[in-house]
Structure 1
Amino acid sequence: MNLVERYIFRRMFEFATIALAILTLVILTTQLLNHIGFLVESRQSFLTLVTLALMLVPTVLVAIAPFAFLVGAIVILDAMNADSELAVIEAAGAGPATYIRPVFLLAALTAALCFVVSVWVEPLANRKVRDIAATANADLVRAAVSAGEFKEIEDGLFISVDSFGAEGELLGVFIVDRRTSERTSYIHARSGQLAPVKGGGFLLLTNGEMQSDSEPGKLSSIRFQTLSLDLFTYRGRMGVNYSPRQYHTGDLLALDPASAEPGFPPDKVAKEINRRFTDWLYPLAFAPLLIVFGGGARSMRSRQRILLLGAALSGFLVRGVGYLALDGSGQSTLAAIFAYAIPIGAFALFSAFAFGDGRSLRFGRWRRLPASYSGGETAAPSAPRLSRRGVDQPVAAADGG
């Protein structure tokens, strides 16, 4: 790239990075506010909160990076047009390639970032979030022991423990499960033991009884010698579940649907695979869209603000339709095809508008760019004309006298 192209790319990159940081911070704050009460109640450290925030960044970044690129590039193109920089570039004979190359280079970098994060980084981060949730659930049980009162692990699920034993076991464990309106379960055990494992934990109960009123007026009772409860099944207010989003991409691709676990239905696995391999296509689809709506020098009377709004709405429309197709891609082959075809088709369609026959879209009509833009020869300029009372008259050339 020449000096002017590097200048344009640097401005777009800086503004897109700022937009990405601001949007990520705002969305991340809302996510943390949903979890901070549970983390404080389970007595997690500040380091755990920071770790959770960092692990949520990849998921947020993949979702908003294409829009940060769209906002950053379109704002800079509009600013350069308002400052007459695009007009000067075109008047100098540089041509539209001067700002087209930076746009496509930034789109390629954004797409590469989304691909790497969604395929490799995000699954690792999601698994770490699951580990934090399981640890917090186990610590909430310990908090119930020290408090000597009922603690709500999640909506409708309560646990109470009387005291610690001589060897650290839990004595007098009582659990009430009212998470479903159809049934209420009561579990009482004389003793229990927390058994942490990698990525989760179990509550091992001994010598107890479980009662449930699955039918009105009827109470079923089951006595048990030992009962194992997966603490991550009681996933609490972290809102995280063990899902295909936490598996490596290679593991998902090699997964046999016939032998998949109950938590891994084939439709969810297929949807997750399609999501990871389509998210990175949208920055590329937005690149020619920017050229169509934001390329070329325009006067202040050409309603460029409406063109900017059209670019933003077109980007949101393409992404929204893509989300709808992706949502059904696990159950329908046609929807899966559309999930890939929408960003690829948008790229092809806007590229045809932007580069087809040297034309550029201008708010509802086509305006042919000068022939020099497309590599042709510029026609000799005609004599300037003045219009007076609707009659065009040639302007006489001034002579030397």
Structure 2
Amino acid sequence: MNLLERYVFRIALGAFLACLLGLTAVIWVTQALRELDLLTGKGQTILVFLTVTGLTLPALITVIAPVALFIATLYTLNKLNGDSELIVMSAAGMAPRSVMRPFMGLATLVVALTALMTLYLMPTSFQELRGLVTKIRADFVANLVREGQFTTLDQGVTFHYRERAGGALLGIFMQDKREAGRTVVYLAERGQTFELNGESFLVLEKGSIHRQQAAARDTSIVAFERYALDLSALTPEGGDVIYKPRERSTMQLVFMDPSDWLYQNAYGRVRAEIHDRLSAALYPLAMVLIAVAALGDPRTTRQGRGLAIVSAIVAVGAMRIAGFAATSAVVRTPWALVAVYGVPLAGAGLSLLVILGGARVRAAQDRLARLFGPVTLPRLPRLRRA
């Protein structure tokens, strides 16, 4: 890059970082407010609260970074034109591709950031979040429930213990009435929570399980010496842990085992997740080209730029909505893959046509001016008042 291009790049980079940090902070605060229940309702520390909310940042940055790049490009071009710098650059013979080069350099950095987030960091953060939620459930049983109190862990699940001895709970009672017409009661002399392979369990010792159906008068009783209760079963999502497509790494999705439950029953969701991650890197390029196509031409201060800015915002919004719709359609049919990649590529291609077409028009006007000279209009005589 030459001196002018580096100057434009610094302005655009500063605006991009300001937009990225500002938008991420605002949206992160709204997400954090939704997780305040970790502090107020589940007795967690501020460190756990920050960890849970921080694990959502990769997903936020993936969506915000292209938008921040678009806003930074609009701001930079509008500032250069408002200070007449864009006009001076054009009058000095600076080609449109030279004006576009610093923005494309910044877009390349954003593409790399978006690819890193979508292909690696975002699924990793979702996996960590799933494991942390499981630990929070264990802490909820061990720390929040008070001695001698009946505490509702979930709708239909009641937990009680008599006293605590060290890290163990004594005199445990738990009633599970989540399933309509069926009641399960766990009684144990002693219990303790522990973690195994990233999952939390409550191990009950010397107790019994009482099961009763609404239609039956008899109750089945099973005595046990040790019984491990999976704490994930205390939530509506209990049962075998099945990681969602967004919680799996890209390699796990691409090379999925055919015997996997998702592969057999919901492969459309897997296909949509794979191609959504791959196509996400195309949107920063398309957005920066739309901004350059709208505001890249130098204009005088009397020529309004409001309509161009609004047109660029509408174009970007329509492109992003079409991209979301295409990703949703891929779940049902693989033919929608054409639209998943075609939407951002079409936005980038049309913007390039506008940029290069405008450059050709200006070059033709310059050639005509050199051949025939400037065209001047005759002055009309002034009319005097009678």
TM-score by length of 2: 0.85
Q: Which runs of 5+ in 2 are unaligned?
A: 382-386
Cα distance, 1:273 vs structure 2: 1.1
Aligned equivalents of 1:221 and 1:312: distance in 2? Answer: 66
Aligned equivalents of 1:304 and 1:245: distance in 2? Answer: 41
Q: Matches of residues 111-150 of structure 1 in structure 2 within 5 Å?
A: 111-150=111-150
Query: For 1:325-373, what per-residue CA distance to the aligned partner results, in whole angstroms no more than 9, with x for missing partners?
Result: 11232231122332122112221222222223735xxxxxxxx324488
Cα distance, 1:142 vs structure 2: 0.9
Cα distance, 1:163 vs structure 2: 3.2
* Cα pair 2:186 2:209 within 8 Å, conserved: yes
Aligned equivalents of 2:218 and 2:332: distance in 1? Answer: 38
Q: What amino acid maps onto 1:122 in structure 2?
A: M
Q: Which runs of 5+ in 1 are unaligned?
A: 360-367, 390-401
Cα distance, 1:123 vs structure 2: 1.6
CA change 1:357–1:30 in 2 (3 A) is closer
Secondary structure of the corresponding residue to residue 277 of structure 1: helix
* Cα pair 1:292 1:350 within 8 Å, conserved: yes
Cα distance, 1:81 vs structure 2: 1.1
Cα distance, 1:7 vs structure 2: 0.7
Secondary structure of the corresponding residue to residue 232 of structure 2: coil
CA change 1:157–1:387 in 2 (3 A) is farther
Cα distance, 1:139 vs structure 2: 0.4
Match of 1:188 among 186, 189, 193: 186
TM-score by length of 1: 0.82
CA change 1:26–1:156 in 2 (3 A) is farther
Aligned equivalents of 1:52 and 1:81: distance in 2? Answer: 44
Cα distance, 1:258 vs structure 2: 3.4
Cα distance, 1:156 vs structure 2: 5.7
Question: Relative to total residues, which structure has the larger helix share, 1 or 2?
Answer: 2
* Cα pair 1:153 1:236 within 8 Å, conserved: no
Aligned equivalents of 1:261 and 1:107: distance in 2? Answer: 35
Aligned equivalents of 2:296 and 2:342: distance in 1? Answer: 25
What corresponds to 1:382 in structure 2? 374
Cα distance, 1:133 vs structure 2: 1.0
Aligned equivalents of 1:183 and 1:275: distance in 2? Answer: 43
Secondary structure of the corresponding residue to residue 279 of structure 2: coil
Identity %: 26
Aligned equivalents of 2:56 and 2:340: distance in 1? Answer: 25
Cα distance, 1:383 vs structure 2: 4.6
CA change 1:305–1:328 in 2 (3 A) is same
What corresponds to 2:45 in structure 1? 45
Secondary structure of the corresponding residue to residue 285 of structure 2: helix
* Cα pair 2:200 2:230 within 8 Å, conserved: yes
* Cα pair 1:267 1:331 within 8 Å, conserved: yes
Q: What amino acid maps onto 2:137 in structure 1?
A: N
Query: What value does the CA root-mean-square deviation take over the aligned residues?
Result: 3.2
Aligned equivalents of 2:370 and 2:219: distance in 1? Answer: 94
* Cα pair 1:145 1:162 within 8 Å, conserved: no
* Cα pair 1:235 1:241 within 8 Å, conserved: no
Q: Matches of residues 130-209 of structure 1 in structure 2 within 5 Å?
A: 130-154=130-154, 157-164=157-164, 168-178=168-178, 185-191=183-189, 192-205=191-204, 206-209=207-210
